[in-house]
Structure 1
Amino acid sequence: MFIRKTPAIQNGPNSIASLEAMTIGGVEQWVLIRGQDRRKPILLWVHGGPGAAQIGFISQYTSEYEKDFLVVNWDQRGAGLSYSKKITEESMTLERMLNDLIELVRILCARFQQDKVYILGHSWGTVLSYLAIKRYPELFHGYISVSQIVNWKQNEHVSYKRILKKAKEVGNEKAYRQLIKIGPPSWNKANFESIYNYWLQKFGGGVIHKGSFMKLFLSPLFIRSEYHFLDIIKWLRGQLFSKSLLKDEAEAIDLYQSGLSIQVPIAFCAGRHDYTCPGELAEVFFHKLQAPVKKWIWFEQSAHTPMIEEAESFQRFVLDTVKQWHKNFN
């Protein structure tokens, strides 16, 4: 009950299945590394949030990737297994977490004797990932973006308008009345954000469009062995800790200020029903970007998490994209 581990990979003489703590940025941070062949290219997943760590459930959706990649998941500083009371509030900054990411990439490259990694960022993780490829393109084969955040405040305002419009369209007077009362973001009252999030999920534009959040996210936390019971409490605390301390920096995010030219291949995707990070904002950004190769795809049955909501289609998207990049650049 209180032992955390990741299952071994069967019939893989050169496989790796490791759940381990590393010292990154001077603090203990946890990393999950899984692959049928440790010589395969590294695919580093960078989770959303801030604080939405995913080591506890993500392996349920990434086992097929382990055939073609060395799949690495990292619970970021202050999140999930990497949440600790020893982490100072002062160290919870975007810049520090970006430095953590680069340090992790260099550790992985040195350990597995590779020069570069593929990086896959989701939501908040797209900000870290984009800034990483901008500053250190030599470390990355390519970047896969899922639910890209470009301008945080613009995201919130478009999201709010979408939900308000949806409430009016379906004739939900209660939703419309409550949303008008709280007004557009940002909110300084926790219950206002709770009201917004309730209707965001209710109208199918939140974390998932259809299906059960419990089945897709929470049940695996209890079923899988990467987190034990007390780690789930840590997972919840880490989300509150990270979100509160990174709130001001998150709201100031505007990737247009970072420039519109990158040196690595990119592939962006968005859920058609995503109200959390409306895809049309990322699509405008995508079309303005200059990159060696770029690709855009909509996932028609998804909201914010197409890698889980349409897991099989998303896997094909990743594999096809990487094969195309490999063909073009090797």
Structure 2
Amino acid sequence: MRNRQNREIFIEEYVSINGIDQYLFHSGTNYDNPVMLFLHGGPGFAESLFAHAFQEKWEEIFTVVHWDQRGAGKTLTRNPNIYPTIDSMLEDLYDTVQYLKKKYNKQKVIILGHSWGSVLGTIFTKKYPEEVAYYIGVGQVISLIDNERVGYEKVKELAIKANDKKTLKRLEAIGNYPGEKFDSSFMTKCSKVRRIQGKYNLAITMTLPLIKNIFKSPIFKLSDISALSKAAKANKKVLEFLYYFNLNAESTEYMVPIYYILGENDWQTPYVIAQNYFNKINAPSKGLYLIPNAGHGTMVDQPQLFFEALLDVNNKESKNS
């Protein structure tokens, strides 16, 4: 582990959470700063490995804690045969929040959820509002089925505009998408759609710069690559839950402030769907930030603009507290 910025807080640890050892990575400049718990995407895609690429400035105003969830990253490596369900994930998250509140002497924590983490974070925020200072959704998932349908139509639209006959044939070969149920056929089709979307910079794909970022991480170990390769198998039950998830079917009432930071070129979790849902939200305070020239990896694509959005949120909430 390399603390290149000589941070006051730079901790890797395994904590017993809900019966198993789970990995936490803390980084910050001041113990008095508010604590932000980063909920990674996937499910199974531990973003602690990418923290160095986007969060240096965050640490000036927050203590940022990355948690490798059950079935992901270093937690999966430590517990290779223990797979998550949505219920175990929520129990894990509750225990993690309690641990952080005690460690940093805080009454509440900030939850930032990215992609799948936005599903977990939203459910938790609705269930335990007393634990959450405020919630930030990035690549916010409202309905996976709607996301896939809209994302598919967007890449098809661009392929038609570009007269890209090869891509149109590949899309036609995929057939009905996303389909009517969660099964292996959907997972195969989804992988193909992601690769096509990646060609048009509409979704995250495993590009060389992305892979290089993993190897540059101060917390990287070779076992992290193995964990990534096992993520889909480990998270099958959670993926099935995600497939049928639909926030539109639930109340839009929130007891805590809600903020969305969305990439204007995100068609993996299409920003237009999240934007439409956000407009219906009733919350003590709320705000939406659209980041230009940014896709699903919003904070990596535009780190400065993303930080400016976080700074604005922090300033607003500091005045309200």
Structure-1 separation of matches of 2:252 and 2:29: 37
1:316 aligns with 2:312: no
Alignment deviations for residues 147-188 of structure 1 (CA, whole Å, 9 cap, x no partner): 110111111111111111111111100111111121211474
Structure-2 separation of matches of 1:188 and 1:83: 22
Match of 1:279 in 2: 271
Which secondary structure does the structure 2 equivalent of 1:304 belong to?
Answer: coil
Structure-2 separation of matches of 1:82 and 1:233: 12
Which of these residues, 222, 229, 232, is aligned with residue 236 of structure 1? Answer: 229
Match of 1:103 in 2: 95
Structure-1 separation of matches of 2:93 and 2:57: 24
1:153 aligns with 2:145: yes
Under a length normalisation based on structure 2, what TM-score does the superposition of the two structures give? 0.92
Structure 2: state its 5+ residue gaps. Answer: none
Alignment of 1:125-204 (within 5 A): 125-183=117-175, 184-186=177-179, 188-189=184-185, 191-204=188-201
Alignment deviations for residues 295-320 of structure 1 (CA, whole Å, 9 cap, x no partner): 11211101111111000110010011
CA RMSD, 1 decimal: 1.9
Q: How far has the Cα of 1:326 moved from its partner? A: 1.3
Match of 2:299 in 1: 307
Structure 1: state its 5+ residue gaps. Answer: none
Q: Decide whether aligned partners of structure 1 residues 205 and 72 sit closer, same or farther in structure 2, where only a CA change above 3 A counts.
A: same
1:7 aligns with 2:11: no
Structure-1 separation of matches of 2:208 and 2:232: 19
Structure-1 separation of matches of 2:36 and 2:188: 38
Structure-1 separation of matches of 2:119 and 2:191: 24
Is the Cα contact below 8 Å between 2:9 and 2:28 reproduced in 1?
Answer: yes
Is the Cα contact below 8 Å between 1:94 and 1:249 reproduced in 2?
Answer: yes
Q: How far has the Cα of 1:192 moved from its partner? A: 3.2
Is the Cα contact below 8 Å between 1:8 and 1:17 reproduced in 2?
Answer: no
1:38 aligns with 2:21: no
Q: How far has the Cα of 1:283 moved from its partner? A: 1.0
Alignment deviations for residues 247-291 of structure 1 (CA, whole Å, 9 cap, x no partner): 211111012333110011111121111111111111111011100
Alignment of 1:42-57 (within 5 A): 42-57=35-50
Structure-2 separation of matches of 1:191 and 1:149: 20
Q: How far has the Cα of 1:102 moved from its partner? A: 1.5
Alignment of 1:201-212 (within 5 A): 201-207=198-204
Structure-2 separation of matches of 1:257 and 1:102: 24
Give the AA of the match of 1:326. Answer: S
Q: How many residue pairs end up in the alignment? A: 316
Q: How far has the Cα of 1:133 moved from its partner? A: 1.0
Under a length normalisation based on structure 1, what TM-score does the superposition of the two structures give? 0.90
1:252 aligns with 2:244: yes
Match of 2:220 in 1: 227
Match of 1:72 in 2: 65
Q: How far has the Cα of 1:117 moved from its partner? A: 0.9
1:214 aligns with 2:208: yes
Is the Cα contact below 8 Å between 1:43 and 1:118 reproduced in 2?
Answer: yes
